[in-house]
Amino acid sequence: MLYLIQIMVDWNDCQKHLGISFRQESLLELAFVHPSYLNENPGFAGSSNERLEFLGDAILNFIVAEKLYEEFPELSEGNLTEIRASLVCRDTLAEIAFSLKLGDWLLLGQGEEANGGRTRPSNLANAMEALIGVLYLEQGLARARRFIFRQLKPRLDKIKVGKRTPNYKALVQELVQGQKRPTPVYRLVETAGPDHSKQFTVEILVEGEVVGNGTGKSKKAAENQAARAAWEKLRCSHG
């Protein structure tokens, strides 16, 4: 029954919502096929969106790197890498995908559907990358570039006026997950000062090893500082 319902998705409605016309509707559909859907619908003729996700990720990284290189000639390689990572990380892509309502068109297995798959950040980010892959294949790099810049414009504008605030906790988690390591753990190690002016010190551990520490006027601020230290250390040590 699930297959019959989801295979009738109105892809014309999807195109109207995105403001983009696609020549190959089947390719657009492919961008939204979660692996769980194939597991429960062996009769489905297509594949999952994983290959398109791979392609879209590479295109996104290239286009953002090119833009940052042109826009910020004064920044070092390290700063450019930091900004790019914050723009293409899972959390950023998931936020954009959520604003575009990409979850409405995801083709999911029953289990993934029941467990909130339509709003799961990883699913949304993957669909976003897959959609970029489709745009590139169908309409070329220039069209993909325009789409990406339109979605990232508010964040790029903030960077230009010096208001960039990379989400280091998200960046560290993504980096560690890419290395197939356990989720980082944050540990409060010290609270000092009077109640009206406390200072918190936090460590971040990966597999029991302290990879960064930070201090701030709140635990959140201390965690962000620790995450930044960990990001710089882990990025350098793993190239």
**Could you list the active site residues?**
57, 129
C-alpha–C-alpha distance, residues 217 and 16, integer Å: 47
Beta carbons within 8 Å of 37's beta carbon, 6+ residues apart: 6, 44, 48, 107, 108, 109, 112
Task: Give φ, ψ of 202 to 5 degrees.
Answer: -130, 145
Length of the chain: 239
58 neighbors 143 (Cβ within 8 angstroms)? no
DSSP type of residue 6: H
Dihedral angle of Cα 28, 31, 33, 34, to the nearest 10 degrees: -170
Torsion of Cα atoms, 149 then 151 then 157 then 160, to 10°: -50
What sign results for the dihedral spanned by CA atoms 72, 60, 102, 13? positive
Between the alpha carbon of residue 112 and those of residues 2, 40, 185, the distances in Å are: 12, 11, 27
Main-chain dihedrals φ then ψ at residue 101, nearest 5 degrees: 60, 35
